[in-house]
Amino acid sequence: MQFDRSSRALSRRLVRLRNRLAAARLAPLAALFLAASYTFAAPSESETVSLPNPVMFVTQVPIEGFATITSVFANHQTSMQEVARGGDLWIRYTDGTLRNLTAEAGYGDEGMQGANAIAVRDPSVDWTGTKALFSMVIGAPTRQYEYGEYYWQIYEITGFGQGESVQIRRVPGQPADTNNIEPMYASDGTIIFSSDRSRNGQRHLYPQLDEYESTPTPTGLWKLDPATGQLTLLQHAVSGSFQPTIDSFGRVIFTRWDHLQQDQQAENPDYGTFNWASEDANAPMSPSVDVFPEPRYETSAAYGHVMNQFFPWMMNQDGSGEETLNHVGRHELSNYFNMSLKHDPALHDFNPFSPPRTNQNDTVNWLQIREDPTTPGRYIAIDAPEFYTDSAGQIISVMAPPAMNASQMQVTYLTPRSTREFHNGTPPADFTGHYRNPLPMSDGTMVAAYDSHAGSADNIGTRANPESLYKFRLYRLHTGAGGYLEAAESDALTPGISKRVTYWDPDVFVTYDGPLWELSPVEVRARPVPPRTVDPPLQSPEAMAFDEAHVTFESFANFMAVRGLGVLVGRNATTRDQADQQQPYNLRVPGGVQTLGNGGIVYDIPYMQLFQADQIRGEGGMNDPVPGRRPLAQPLHDPAALQFMPPLPPNAPPGAVPIASDGSFAAVVPAQRAMVWQATAADGTPVVRERYWISVKPGEIRACPSCHGVNTVDQAGHPPAQNLPIALVNLVVYWRDHYDAVFEGGFE
């Protein structure tokens, strides 16, 4: 962790002295030596880079491969082949001085990585600028073939101001046997973070496997109150949620992986996929069956459905209101994608240029999102390939304050589009490198991790002596050719931080001696505390429904909350946004409302069928299944939810609720479990499918004007539906008439 071999040797001697002092129980004196040995005055080239505030960041021993720490997904795992030990938490002060914070506090090893070895990630500074959270994994194999259990845990650091004494403590109350990463302070001082803890804490469901490669994934965003130890699942993600932040409006902004499609592993018998009958530990097993959505390949009636994107999402700090950022979607951000059904001439593949939309700069993935502190509502992110670039690519931005309509959101390319891709041949003339971890600073400048190589990320060394092609360092970017941001050697924040480490991986003895990656910068400064966003009051149509039923909303919501339930409401399922002509949009409720976009085929939709994410897909074969399970969409069957809904007609599709004559539907659903739904014909044939999983918080009444929410007008030119939802009235009346003995009070 020193800048040259002479300073590295000096540091090793000081570390040995530190260890002797600590062993002799002279910890204060040991800390004094640490403060001396891990604070460095950077060379003059670094001092020329001016920053408005200190920057905290992490170093990482470079490591390449599938599902490693810099991967787009499944980057939370802790084996030595997924996250090499030897990195540290650092701070760079405005005068260019560098300080190794974890080493100063006694964490980490020089040379051989063993019991005290660490890796660190995800620093996040609190609103006062005086403390920070980060994740750290401690420990490494001490001999060949030793496979240990290691977990990322959340730590809090104080005393990182110049002249202060560093203190690091593990945050109490967090689960000790799960990977807890990407922590941040909420407005009320609680901690929101990503974790791979199973949705309900049951160990036999650990780890949750994603919808793509059936690779372990975070299960969503969680909240921890360190003062009480209360742990709450805010949002359930089937394939993972990543990199949460809180913007100036109090919204939790995060990246979510949307891959809602049938299981591709089931197509290959080598994976040994099968279904458990339920989420129970000893449930019976049977051959694998997928029921939602349509198959991945074309059928006689439909085109295959493939979705694979990382989009910006938002929710309130209490877990309510989960939605894509300002309801933005593929129609506003993506390029071409196919229609769903064949034999309907009114449907066509999506073309962003016909008719033209407001946003002319398409994107694929939104990674590492940060709000610009100088422009509230402006978000900076990385659009990078799913593989091959260590999540590095093009820097992009979008304006999306709460009041902005999604149809008006415009993406700006801050680096050339060629920087999104890797180029193993001759790169385009405007290619300037690959960028990650963009950090917009309070003075309007931008810091980012950067590497100039055009080719794909690779270990150009060997397993025993690795060398990554990419050499990420932190740079303050400047405006270059074409008005795009770029980096130059004179922009580097450090002169480079090198280290020699050895470790068992655990089969092979690995030696690395070279520069460390510099990643995840955060600006250390005080900021105004954003408002604490919570579930907002009911909108007028739903409030009117409770008035019509003569029931107070508070009594109904409290009843649902204590039972772990919520309610999904749609006002008019026949309406679609005018841009969505990839699924049927001439829709009619038999005997009720209809919304027609043209004179094409009209589809009757008497039912809305709901699906819950059940963790029941196994792999490895029924005789020797691998740990963990993948969620599958299964018709709504939660007993508690079904108990409080009116009985369905005997011929209704499983998990369905009727669509009322006004186009509305209402369903009680399990909270803190991902849900998805589709409008169907009378015989259960799918007509319009929802494309995103959504979870609700306990007691939330989640209402939408339509299934594909209308930005400005629907397919018939009408504004978003504002009708009193008859289906919600019917649901609340049924609850009122059947459960007043169970739940006393609350009725008008």
Within-domain flag for 280? no
The better pLDDT of the pair 371, 20 is held by: 371
546/510 same-domain check: no
pLDDT band of 740, cuts 50, 70, 90: low
114-155 pLDDT tens trace: 999 999 999 999 999 999 999 999 999 999 999 999 999 999
| DSSP E strand stretches across 581-710 | 587-588, 594-595, 603-604, 607-618, 630-635, 656-658, 665-670, 675-680, 686-689, 701-704
pLDDT in tens, 528-587: 999 999 999 999 999 999 999 999 999 999 999 999 999 999 999 999 999 999 999 999
Report the pLDDT averaged over residues 602-621. Answer: 98
The rounded distance, in Å, linking the Cα atoms of 51 and 65 is: 34
pLDDT of 515 strictly over 70: yes
Model confidence band, residue 16 (pLDDT cutoffs 50, 70, 90): very low
Specify whether 729 is located in the same domain as 609: yes
Q: Name the percent of the chain in helix, strand, coil, to the closest 5.
A: 15, 30, 55
Contact between 428 and 484 (Cβ < 8 Å): no
Percent of the chain topping pLDDT 70: 92
What are 491-503's pLDDT values in tens digits? 999 999 999 999 9
Q: Residue 451 above 50 pLDDT?
A: yes
The per-residue pLDDT for 708 is 79
What is the pTM (predicted TM-score) of this model? Answer: 0.93
Angle, alpha carbons 107-110-114 (nearest 5°) = 70
At 666, the pLDDT band (50, 70, 90 cuts) reads very high
Question: Can you name the residues that pair with 367 across neighbouring β-strands?
Answer: 382
Position 292 scores a pLDDT of 95
Within a domain: 529:
no
In the predicted model, is pLDDT for residue 2 greater than 80?
no
Which of 473, 496, 523 finishes a domain?
523
Q: Are residues 291 and 381 in the same domain?
A: yes
Average pLDDT, the chain: 93
DSSP 576: B
Instruction: For the chain, give the percent of residues with pLDDT over 90.
Output: 90
Is the Cα torsion angle 679, 684, 686, 689 positive or negative in sign?
Answer: positive
Residue 90 confidence (pLDDT): 98
What is the Cα 450 distance to its own chain's centre?
Answer: 22
Paired with 668 in beta bridges are: 567
**Same domain, residue pair 581 and 617:** yes
Q: Which of 294, 343, 236, 348 lies closest to 691 in space, CA to CA?
A: 294
pLDDT, tens only, 215-225:
999 999 999 99
Contact by Cβ (8 Å): 97, 46: no
Task: Establish if 281 belongs to a structural domain.
Answer: no
> Which value, in Å, is the radius of gyration of the alpha carbons in the chain?
27
Note whether 551 and 614 are same-domain residues. yes
Tens digit of pLDDT for each residue in 62-118? 999 999 999 999 999 999 999 999 999 999 999 999 999 999 999 999 999 999 999
- 598, 707: one domain: yes
**453 and 548 together in one domain:** no
Inside any domain, residue 36? no
pLDDT at 28 over 90: no
Q: Using CA atoms, how far apart are residues 419 and 431, in angstroms rounded to an integer? A: 6
Lowest mean pLDDT segment, chosen from 236-245, 336-345, 503-512, 669-678: 336-345
- Whether residue 105 sits in one domain with residue 252: yes
Determine the pLDDT at residue 37: 42
Same-domain status, 336 and 378 = yes
Q: What is the pLDDT of residues 412-437, one digit of tens each?
A: 999 999 999 999 999 999 999 999 99
Whether residue 646 is contained in a domain is answered as: yes
Choose one of 470, 494, 523: the last residue of a domain: 523
Q: Are residues 187 and 297 in the same domain?
A: yes
- Domain presence at residue 534: no
| Confidence check: pLDDT of 745 > 60 | no
| 356 lies in some domain | yes
Q: Is the CB of residue 234 less than 8 Å from the CB of residue 359?
A: no
| Spatial distance between the Cα atoms of 346 and 585, rounded to a whole number of angstroms | 9
517 and 554 part of one domain: no
Residue 369 sits in which domain range?
Answer: 5-28+53-124+153-262+286-343+351-523
Residue 547, in any domain of the structure: yes
Classify the phi-psi angles of 397: left when phi > 0, otherwise alpha if psi is within -120 to 50, otherwise beta: beta
Averaged pLDDT for residues 168-177: 98
Q: What is the pLDDT of residue 670?
A: 98
CATH number for 200: 2.120.10.30
Domain termination residue (choose one: 523, 549, 571): 523
Q: Are 351 and 338 in contact (CB under 8 A)?
A: no
pLDDT (0 to 100) of residue 739: 84
Closest CA to 40 of 423, 382, 410, 498: 498
SS3 591: coil
Residues 507 and 592 in one domain: no
Largest CA distance in the chain: 86
Mind listing the pLDDT tens digit for each residue in 39-54?
444 444 445 799 999 9
Q: State yes or no: pLDDT of 38 exceeds 90.
A: no
- Structural domain tally of the chain? 2
